[in-house]
Structures are given as structure tokens and as C-alpha cells.
């Protein structure tokens, strides 16, 4: 069985010292009302970096994205199909978010809010890969 490749973002905003979280719409068949980072499938001919920028633009209306590095790679099962998640650390100076119809709400979250809002599997990946420490120690 082949895994579907999905890109996800961890968008950090230095101005507010927060990470952008999006809430899936209430009618989403996969994870309705759950919180996540922007992301989605890679389209034919795109690089993963191009895909994450496109997904952020489409889902959050943010265009000043800098893709910094891969935060982690994770294999998860969604339904009966495996998905290879490539999570990128991204930065933006923009605090204004314009949501697509895929999401119903957003928040710029600190570490404590992330730990409350995000699903346990994402928090486990953040903890395992030192994601919060990257931002807590960010002084430049």
C-alpha cells in the first residue's frame, strides 16, 4: 500500500510570538472542528515547499511565508490509508488571516494554548521533535 504525501505548516509569527492554528470547518468529513496547522496535498509538478506556500495562501490568505526547514516527518493512518506528513517550520510577519471555507476559525496560539487546542498526536510530535523549544529560544 502506498502512502499519500501531505505537507503541514507550523507558522510562527515573531511579532506576536505565536503559532497559527486553524480550526477545520464543522462539515469537514475528516476531523470536523479539530485544530491544526495549514496544509494539504502536493499537486502534480509542485515541490513540497511550493505546496506548503500554496496551501497557506489558499487556507489562511497569508502570502509572506518563509519556509525555514522541515520540523519533522510522521507517518499516520487516516481512515484505512497511510499518510506521510512533512511538517515545515514557516515564518510570517502577517497577523491578519483570511480563512477559506475549509476552516471556521483561527488563533495565534502560545505553547499553552497549542497544548489545549491541538490533538494529542500533534502535540506528541511537537514534544518529540522539540518544536516548542525552537520558538521559546528564538531571540533573533
Q: How is 32-57 classified by DSSP, letter by letter?
A: TT-EE-SEEEPPTT--HHHHHHHHHH
For the stretch 93-110, pLDDT in tens is: 999 999 999 999 999 999
The mean pLDDT of 79-104, rounded to a whole number, is 93
Whether pLDDT at 87 is above 60: yes
**Against a cut of 0.95, is the pTM above it?**
no
pLDDT digits (tens, 9 = 90+) for 5-63: 999 999 999 899 999 999 999 998 878 999 999 999 999 999 999 999 999 999 999 99
Question: What domains, with CATH codes, occur in the chain?
Answer: 4-130 (3.90.79.10)
Q: Which of 38, 32, 39 is nearest to 19 (CA)?
A: 38
Q: In this model, does residue 78 exceed pLDDT 80?
A: no
Mean pLDDT of the chain: 92
User: Residue 87: which of 100, 78, 74 has the closest Cα?
Assistant: 74
| Confidence check: pLDDT of 120 > 80 | yes
Amino acid at each position: 500500500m502506498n502512502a499519500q504525501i501531505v505537507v503541514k505548516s507550523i507558522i510562527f509569527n515573531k511579532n506576536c510570538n505565536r503559532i497559527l492554528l486553524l480550526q477545520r470547518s464543522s462539515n469537514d468529513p475528516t476531523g470536523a472542528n479539530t485544530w491544526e496547522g495549514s496544509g494539504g496535498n502536493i499537486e502534480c509538478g509542485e515541490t513540497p515547499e511550493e505546496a506548503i506556500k500554496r496551501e497557506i495562501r489558499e487556507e489562511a490568505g497569508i502570502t509572506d511565508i518563509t519556509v525555514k526547514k522541515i520540523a519533522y516527518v510522521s507517518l499516520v493512518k487516516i481512515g484505512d490509508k497511510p499518510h506521510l506528513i512533512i511538517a515545515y517550520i514557516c515564518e510570517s510577519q502577517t497577523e491578519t488571516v483570511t480563512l477559506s471555507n475549509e476552516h471556521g476559525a483561527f488563533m495565534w496560539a502560545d505553547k499553552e494554548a497549542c497544548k489545549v487546542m491541538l490533538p494529542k498526536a500533534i502535540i506528541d510530535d511537537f514534544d518529540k521533535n522539540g518544536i516548542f523549544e525552537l520558538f521559546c529560544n528564538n531571540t533573533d
